[in-house]
Amino acid sequence: MSVLQLDPLANENAEAALAHARQGQPGPVLIVGGGIGGLAAALALARRGIPSQVLERRPAFHEEGAGIQIGPNGTRILRRLGVADELRPHVGVPDALSVRDGRTGAEIAKLPLGRWIAMRHGAPYWVAHRKDLHAALLHAVRTEPLIALSMGFSASEVASGNGHVAVAAESGEAWSGRALIAADGIWSPLRSLLFDATRPRFCGKSAARSVVPLDALPADFQRNETTIWLFANTHVVHYPVCGGTELAIVVVLDDLHDSSDWSAPVPPFWIQQSMPPCAEPLQALILEARTWKRWALHTLPVPRQWAHGSIALLGDAAHPMLPFLAQGGVMALEDATVIADALHRYIDDVPAALRWYQRQRRPRVQRVVRASRRNGRIYHLAGPAALARNFVLRKLPAQRLMARYDWLYGWRPIETTSQ
């Protein structure tokens, strides 16, 4: 048996819970973190008939967050989890991705989404507000008998041994189960304690987000498109959310301010002063947004190991990635369905299940992390390199450019059967 403490003053509640658990049947799968990845994992487990206990640190969920793009590899999973119908009224389904020169406003390329990508991959490309995605997952969790949800649980101890695992909170509350999934984000205390103490590294850029009513904007911004504006060292992306009533805006630019805060308010003039000279329509859009939240962008190498014994990491706790491929949330959805399939496949051997989960996920996640970094470099090119990029985007057929991402959007989980 091993007992590890996040809080050096913690008592032995986890050890006691572990001892008690050995006297009965294996308990539920414990999931630390009630974000997108944690809730999706609970639902995926429930679809496999496996009970879970979700332990969320916050006393209540807050309706905050940025827009989120969900490619076919993600919407396919939402359909499998049974939340697609709940979310559908709140999403946008853009017809295209418009790539523009941020300084002149000229369109460089228009890449197909909408019907084209849905036909190609058997699932749509959605854009949504993160709070709407989380709300749909949360509603499904709260109506699922196999899932229990506890709020205000801040983990302080973990104990494991002999096929059981337990986690205790600073309050003394403790839970035991057959497995522990740490889905507690990029700053995961459980990753630092149990797997890798490396801290996320600030990459010298921040992202700022805002949402504005679409009816307050000129017709140019009411097109059913995702639009990205490219500059040297900066880009802006926006798309319709909340059923097409609002426009989500994200600005990514150089910044010296490092922080772990996901929702740090910043005044509009900070965004306006930090932006390079830009096309008049985009300048007007930036001026229209009155409320901005900023988060610093961090990188962390994909760890060699994120599963050991009865404990595994999921989502940003395992593999945080930069937002230049719009796949961070979707990778958590993929993780969720694969870990549930693994625990169903090896129903009587949790360590084998979690090893299989890591083997399935690590190569793909590494590829997505590399592709995201590469996209970021391409977006932020300057001078002759930017001119060459724009030339290629203009000359290559749009469908051919999109087909280069078949490996990403065409992903499907391996069908498994219990062993």
Nearest CA to 302 among 369, 205, 377, 204? 369
Structure token digits, residue 63:
């309706």
> Which one, of 343, 331, 310, lies nearest residue 417 by Cα?
343
List phi, psi (to 5°) of 323: -85, 25
How far apart CA 178 and CA 164 sit, in angstroms, is 5
- Are 323 and 252 within 8 A, CB to CB? yes
Terminal C-alpha separation, the chain: 27
CB 363 within 8 A of CB 334: no
CA distance 68 to 360: 25
Neighbours of 261 (CB within 10 A): 11
For 301-311, give one letter per residue: b (16+ CB within 10 A) or e.
ebbeebbebbb
Lookup: tokens for 2: 């091993």
**Region for residue 47 given its phi and psi (left: phi exceeds 0; alpha: psi -120 to 50; beta: otherwise):** alpha
Q: Which residues contact 13 (CB under 8 A, 6 or more apart)?
A: 157, 168, 169, 172, 173, 174
Token pair belonging to 41: 């994992």
Q: Which helix (H) or strand (E) holds 111?
A: strand 107-112
- CA dist., res. 315 & res. 337, Å (int): 11
**Among 266, 212, 273, 272, residue whose Cα is nearest residue 238:** 212
- Give the span between the Cα atoms of 202 and 408, in whole angstroms: 26
Among 239, 346, 357, 379, the active-site one is 239
Q: Is 239 a catalytic residue?
A: yes
The Cα 91–Cα 68 span in angstroms is 10
Measuring CA to CA, which residue among 259, 261, 226 is closest to residue 92?
226
Look up residue 56 and give its DSSP letter.
-
The number of helix segments (H) and strand segments (E) in the chain equals 14, 20
| Residues assigned a catalytic role | 239
